[in-house]
Chain A
Amino acid sequence: MKLNLKIWRQKNNKTKGKIQDYILDGVEEDMSFLEMLDFLNNKLLNEGGEPVAFDHDCREGICGSCSLFINGVAHGPERGTTTCQLHMRKFKDGDTIFIEPFRSRAFPVIKDLIVDRSSFDRIQQAGAYVSVNTSGNTQDANAIPVSKEDADEAFNSATCIGCGACVASCKNSSAMLFTAAKISQYSLLPQGKVERKQRALNMVKQMDLEGFGACTNTGACEAQCPKEISIKNIARMNREYLMANIKK
């Protein structure tokens, strides 16, 4: 198939970027979206040009590296799918596709489609852990049974890949879903309960410091999350945060 690509090009965070047009012929249905970009880059390189920079690594929908705003939707049109798992059979010959970086004040552009998401790491560093020694001298793993329900629910929250689609999709650039998923995981497990108050306070504080916006419950984050992390997590986080503030 033949595609009209409109891609955001920006040399670095000091220069301004703009949309550039590319016509790409010979795209195959079985290609993934990123393979389509590889194909474009190969063409650009063969013409002596500069390839389009984009983040990617596992190409299996698990590392959270890939991003992209595709026709105004984070990770493109297919629900519950990362860009690397999106395939060209979802598009048709002659389509025009806009490809832009995830946009948020807290995610500055590094180059072309690559943004800096280190703010996410800093939120996690503020408290997303259990303070246990890594010496291995802990109690036996089966000493505290955890109900299957809680374990499964904690697992569901823990499958967040930290890609930033929630932030990019939110009109307020809120990082609530991302932060809430982690807080929920720990609050559901006995091991995480001990430090729950401090964790909620510290992580929320860092989230605000990084310049993410507030949540106005539009639900866009859940709708565009490639891992379909539930918005229930946000309610859980709000509860944790409230409790922590009361009992401070």
Chain B
Amino acid sequence: MDKENKVFSINELAEYLKVSKKTIRRHISSGKIKCSKVGGVYRISQDALDVFLNPDGNFSEPALNINPEKGEAKPFPIDSKVPFGSMENKWKNHKQNINLVSPANKRLIDVIVVGTGLAGASASATLAELGYNVKSFCFQDSSRRAHSIAAQGGINAAKNYQGDGDSVYRLFYDTVKGGDYRSREANVYRLAEVSTNIIDQCVAQGVPFARDYGGLLDNRSFGGVLVSRTFYAKGQTGQQLLLGAYSAMNRQINRGKIEMYSRHEMLELVTVNGKARGIIARNLVNGKLERHAAHAVVIASGGYGNVFFLSTNAMGSNVTASWKIHKKGAYFANPCFTQIHPTCIPVSGENQSKLTLMSESLRNDGRIWVPKKLEDVKKLRLKKIKPTEIKEGDRDYYLERRYPAFGNLVPRDVASRAAKERCDAGFGVNKTGEAVFLDFQSAIIRYGTEKTHSLGGDQNDKENVQNLGKQAIKEKYGNLFQMYEKITDENPYETPMMIYPAVHYTMGGVWVDYNLMTSIPGCYAIGEANFSDHGANRLGASALMQGLADGYFVLPYTIGDYLSADIRTGKISTDSPEFKNAERDVLEKLKGFIQNKGTKPVDYFHKKLGRIMWNKCGMSRNKTDLKKAINEIKELREDFYKNVFVPGELHEFNEELAKAGRVADFLELGELFAIDALEREESCGGHFREEHQTQEGEALRDDQNFNFVSAWEYKKTEKAKLHKEKLKFESVKLKSRSYK
């Protein structure tokens, strides 16, 4: 929103600032307030006033849109609103300078929040706490079941409780580096800064984090960092944090400040005069369409990993909300930045519906290896030997070999590619050749010996050491081991786990400015749904941090800057032509599915899309495959609209209908994903282009030409248009990432 460029007289300014005219004159003569003489009288511009109020400088710089081929520079079409000033002061100053809405006026303002994961639930709770009237939506039967519930390993915060040298700067630096220098510095710094509040907040809400015997909070380490800053609640951190946010929402529901709409799916954004003013949602129980109006709409609908069909995401996770706003004008940024997580349970069969993550925290204690000799691999696959029978010297702990400094705790993209490299070379240890070992034996012995020592037992009593060691492992990762055993029918305390990379998280998402507003005024995106903080690769335990930071501590304040102009707008009506038309369009589309007399179920198309994505846009990508993918997706989309079969009726509970809508959007997103991957002629983070690698097979970034965020603008009839938001690195020096 542009601030109007006002001009003040000395009298007006004195009144505005609630000081005497004398004071103003003094500042003018000392040069602190710059002013000009117009027709013999002093006049002070808004800009001069801003500089006076904020000498540190807190005005956003327009981002540059560079075109590397032509060498021309033109401004990125939208102001990213990154404040001027030193990195440490940006957020503080920004908060002081943005417009506020008074408590009385907040009562006149309605906000819609789509999503009740960590981002949406925390945003709803704080917005309601501040006084706004909130309507929250989720498609599950309860807001507590949002996908965030499944997060396992932990949440980062720069608390430095372990005294191991952690700091806000280090968390910021690790995140920028981990993201392979493709994130916006200012956003990341703010994230690191507010991270400490999150832990305070959650503890105050009664979140039962793990504690040590002294009663203080415990920490563990995650990949890509050298400190212990991850807070956790066994392997159920997401559950505990989400239930905390859910409780904060419940408190506001009880106060009447949040209206909760579960089993509701947003199917369209309604804009009036270019501003987001509401949504069309389908009540999933009776199938009816509903109009909901508000002064602003917040999208917190999570990531789009399910474009691959098989992923670690919950079955219902989808891109629809993000995609609908994209088609209404919100730029979609870096769609090809996807995280493939190295430690998941390998695919077991054709009918598999989803993949299960084994938390990264396991890499604290597990060592990853494959056999050195191909003959051992053969025997393993034929079950002629057990993994435990392979001698130490015949094992290749390839991460420790290739990356001695970080070893098993390299970032996810690096670990995943290394697993693929070994499996492609024929060393995969299961029948499909797509698995490596994650082995806890060393840790069991280490913990067991420690425990035996402190109990004064006999360290040569191997059985006792083993038992105590297994107990220690159970305390740390019990539920994960249990989950592994249930799925694979193998006991991971006795034999190493088998793991393989799987799609897990999407760094790409809706483009947002520093205020988390999309390119549609009044429409915001938070949590995994936006693109901002993780660059080309996310570090473990940072998604929960970002979701809660966005929801509790950033959005509720930045949204005031926009809403302050809306205090006199009054209730937004749902009777306007915009609402009617939007509802009609949605209805038409849904009817189309029901009336289509196709023969193939929705899943047929979803699985097919998933295979294209995994094979051609997965862990490594090349020009030929990406081009093929684009064509295949187009063909599949045509086939879908011609031949999809959706049974049942519109006005009833109809899961297939809901799925059809989601897959239709995945079929469009998939294409943009491939186009984005094709255009980005470099390797960075999770985006690995085979054409761009070093001799050792490490990712080769191209900062000269690709140091930007790809922000795609939807075009109805032609190809999506690419805008480039140039990234500037002021606090962290751009250099090639090394974990050796």
Contacts and interface: CB of A to CB of B under 8 A. Distances in A.
B487 interface: yes
Contacts of B354: 59
B486 A87 contact: yes
Interface in B320-364: 348-349, 351-354, 356-357
A60 B483 contact: yes
Interface residues of A, number: 79
A118 B197 CA distance: 32
A168 to B, nearest CB: 15
Nearest to A145: B215
Contact of B129 (A51, A81, A134, A146): A134
A89 to B, nearest CB: 6
Contact of A148 (B212, B251, B482): B212
A30 B349 contact: yes
B441 interface: no
A151 B211 contact: yes
A65 B140 contact: yes
Given A34-B353, A51-B647, A126-B254, A191 B214 contact: no
B65 interface: no
A128 B248 CA distance: 9
B201 A151 contact: no
Contacts of A134: 122, 125-126, 129, 201, 248, 552
Contacts of A133: 129
Nearest to B317: A57
Given A129-B248, A136-B201, A148-B213, A62 B236 contact: yes
B211 A60 contact: no
A108 to B, nearest CB: 11
Contact of A191 (B147, B205, B351): B205
Contact of B216 (A39, A85, A117, A145): A145
Contacts of B200: 136, 138-141
A128 B250 contact: yes
Contacts of A64: 142, 144-145, 149
A28 B652 contact: no
A110 interface: yes
A233 to B, nearest CB: 14
B564 interface: no
Nearest to A45: B601
Contacts of A30: 348-349
A131 B205 CA distance: 8
Interface in A154-192: 154-155, 158-159, 161-162, 185-186, 189, 191-192
Contacts of A147: 211, 215
Given A30-B348, A111-B652, A118 B486 contact: no
B351 A81 contact: no
Nearest to A51: B656
A141 B203 contact: yes
Contacts of A39: 351
Contacts, number: 219
Nearest to A64: B145
Given A35-B353, A128-B247, A136 B314 contact: no
Interface string B642-668: 000101100011011000000000000
B647 A48 contact: yes
A46 to B, nearest CB: 7
Interface string B183-195: 0000000000010
A126 B225 CA distance: 42
A63 B314 contact: yes
A142 interface: yes
Contacts of B254: 125-127, 129
A51 to B, nearest CB: 6
A120 B262 CA distance: 13
A183 B309 CA distance: 39
Interface residues of B, number: 82
Interface in A26-46: 28, 30-32, 34-35, 38-39, 41-42, 45-46
B203 A191 contact: yes
Contacts of B239: 62, 158-159, 161
B141 interface: yes
B353 A38 contact: yes
Contact of B208 (A57, A63, A155): A155
A89 B489 contact: yes
A20 interface: no
Contacts of A11: 652
Contact of A138 (B142, B204, B553): B204
Contacts of B352: 35
Given A133-B129, A135-B126, A189 B208 contact: yes
Contacts of A80: 482
A142 B204 contact: no
Given A141-B217, A158-B243, A132 B315 contact: no
A73 interface: no
B246 interface: yes
B519 interface: no
B278 to A, nearest CB: 24
A210 B645 CA distance: 39
A153 B562 CA distance: 45
A57 B145 contact: yes
Given A58-B149, A136-B553, A142 B648 contact: no
B150 interface: yes
B159 A141 contact: yes
A186 B206 contact: yes
A129 B314 contact: no
A65 B487 contact: no
Contact of A131 (B211, B251, B487, B553): B251
A130 interface: yes
B280 interface: no
Contacts of A38: 351, 353, 603
Interface in A187-227: 189, 191-192
A129 B205 contact: yes
Contact of A57 (B216, B217, B314): B314
A128 B251 CA distance: 8
Interface string A96-127: 00000000000000110010111011001111
Given A46-B599, A129-B247, A151-B215, 4 more contacts: A65-B145, A111-B652, A131-B251, A152-B211
- A-B pairs with the 8 shortest C-beta distances? A145-B215, A136-B197, A129-B247, A45-B601, A155-B208, A138-B204, A141-B203, A154-B208
13 contacts: A28-B351, A42-B603, A45-B645, A118-B141, A121-B144, A129-B206, A136-B197, A136-B201, A138-B200, A141-B203, A142-B217, A145-B215, A151-B211
